[in-house]
Structure 1
């Protein structure tokens, strides 16, 4: 990858992960609040970090960002396995989620688990983690069945809000269908409903197209076309079309974001309403200012626009104030390093990683 393209790619990866964290931190304190109360406190929408209560200072992220980071770590682990000749498996992502489960059960690092991410003390804060995620991960831990799909019928947004890193592999190293299927499978580790999986696949492949340099409208069209090839896509397709066609000030009509397709629709709606690089704060404020799952919808919007515009378009005051910024940037750079085309330039086995690439 030539230098200019490499720098652009790095900016998109860091922008996606940082943007998601910023949206999450903006929305977390107002999650569960009705729109009237949010607007009463923030007439122009939530545009700055605010406290979420005792022990929840401004800029704090929630389980959405925590699980997104463990998704990235799991992808890196899967890549390392492949480098060692052990083959690429998304079970490594599932195992990363098991390490995240420790952060929700313990008061701090135990020193008994592998991986540097689980040694970050700030990740051990509980920020209303989803019961479906917790239950499904408890079950897979008890059964030691990493890589198996969850035995439930949930389509909650806990799958879609964490899969963005799967769409961040370098251009040319993962085809869209592989990206879609991998994200759907990763979401299925905790959420068994087809819509929960398909909405997750749609978000990851949308980000895949943006990382490749597509504009947002084209990326949405391509995402809808690929999504339409999957059985049971109708619910997710309708949600994306509704997001694209909704009139201004119609965010509440898209639902509350508690389920996967609604969270995707609200995050995408805000991104489409304010798609310019100088409109990032407007988009994020719109994404979190509604009566619903504001942290997840904010995270998804931030993932999308961060991948589209890169980290320099993010509101710098929020970049500086978001929890875990240095860790997020380090993890982004580690993902880039693991999957860089230069690293695999002479590796004839690389095609085993992404069939069809």
Structure 2
């Protein structure tokens, strides 16, 4: 399988995980089982009241980043921040608290780095390290799939557009190193990621990767919006599954922050198994299918 098929799998998997998990976001596993049995099909309504196949901020911000990378031929934080602020002004669906607080300041003209650092320093523990940057960072893994040093640097910088905490910045690096490893067809991307993470990466991030690679029961993977939990769960579900579809379904049916954990699991599993491992029924309903596939292909071309 070539990198282009895996790249399409990455962005389409991310979007499918977001769309499948969106209607049951915040539900415990027991409620999903009670109302849906095992949720395997795109649903309408739900928490945001949207049609089946619609996505939320997870995918929309990933596509903003992908457009910036493609049209600027690389990562330029000012351009990405401008696109994020324009997206924010369109009253988006499902935006996280920290992202909202940062982009509301950027939209009024405050420099993005000043806004992001200020919001982080003013946020108490428990509200300062959410998964709002790790959910959107996968386009960087495609663009810099063959350049680990630049991938680490840009992953950190991309997170800081909204999420300044080191667990977020290095969490993005960790996830993208794993995704890039799968894009290159490596057998053990997690070990490679652990070797290439910066020396100053928080221990919580490296522990999460190790836990993801040793977990044998997907129902024991975490479900919260804490970035370290989402990193562990997204990678863990992708490693345990036999297809991208299985990784996404298992992640979503575990409950909790279903759209974001589903999106992260989908990005990793899509890179591992390729777009062909996603159900045609999902892709037919996915509203962003064509753009996500086209951006993935252009990013893969730039990476080559």
TM-score by length of 2: 0.90
Question: Counterparts of 1:256 and 1:313 in 2: how far apart (Å)?
Answer: 24
Of the three residues 194, 200, 207, the one matched with 2:166 is 194
Q: Could you list the per-position Cα deviations for residues 70-105 of structure 1 after superposition, in whole angstroms to 9, with x for gaps in the alignment? A: 0101112331xx7xxxxx63322222212221222x
Matches within 5 A, 1:168-247: 168-169=142-143, 171-172=145-146, 175-215=147-187, 218-227=188-197, 229-247=198-216
Mapped pair 1:131 → 2:100: no
- Look up the match of 1:331: 295
Greater helix fraction, Structure 1 or Structure 2: 2
Rg bigger for which structure? 1
- Look up the match of 1:289: 253
Q: 1:231 Cα deviation (Å)?
A: 1.6
Q: Could you list the per-position Cα deviations for residues 179-236 of structure 1 after superposition, in whole angstroms to 9, with x for gaps in the alignment? A: 0221121111111211011111111121111112212xx1011112222x43242011
Of the three residues 65, 87, 100, the one matched with 1:71 is 65
Check the 8 A contact 1:28/1:295 in 2, yes or no.
yes
Question: Counterparts of 1:202 and 1:68 in 2: how far apart (Å)?
Answer: 17
Mapped pair 1:145 → 2:111: yes
Question: Counterparts of 1:90 and 1:12 in 2: how far apart (Å)?
Answer: 26
Question: Counterparts of 1:9 and 1:239 in 2: how far apart (Å)?
Answer: 26
Question: Counterparts of 1:246 and 1:326 in 2: how far apart (Å)?
Answer: 35
Question: Counterparts of 2:6 and 2:78 in 1: how far apart (Å)?
Answer: 26
Mapped pair 1:157 → 2:112: no
SS at match of 1:162: coil
Of the three residues 21, 43, 62, the one matched with 1:50 is 43
Mapped pair 1:315 → 2:262: no
- Look up the match of 1:15: 9
Where does structure 1 lack aligned partners over 5 or more consecutive residues? 1-6, 83-87, 105-125, 342-357
Check the 8 A contact 1:244/1:272 in 2, yes or no.
yes
Of the three residues 233, 241, 245, the one matched with 1:266 is 233
Q: Could you list the per-position Cα deviations for residues 115-143 of structure 1 after superposition, in whole angstroms to 9, with x for gaps in the alignment? A: xxxxxxxxxxx322112111101222334
- Look up the match of 1:39: 33
Check the 8 A contact 1:288/1:295 in 2, yes or no.
yes
Structure 1 residues 52 and 150: alpha-carbon distance in aligned structure 2, compared to 1, 3 A threshold = farther
RMSD of Structure 2 on Structure 1 (CA)? 2.1
Mapped pair 1:166 → 2:160: no
- Look up the match of 1:89: 76
TM-score by length of 1: 0.77
SS at match of 1:200: helix
Check the 8 A contact 1:257/1:266 in 2, yes or no.
no
Count of matched residue pairs: 295
Where does structure 2 lack aligned partners over 5 or more consecutive residues? 121-127
Q: Could you list the per-position Cα deviations for residues 8-27 of structure 1 after superposition, in whole angstroms to 9, with x for gaps in the alignment? A: 22211111111110011111
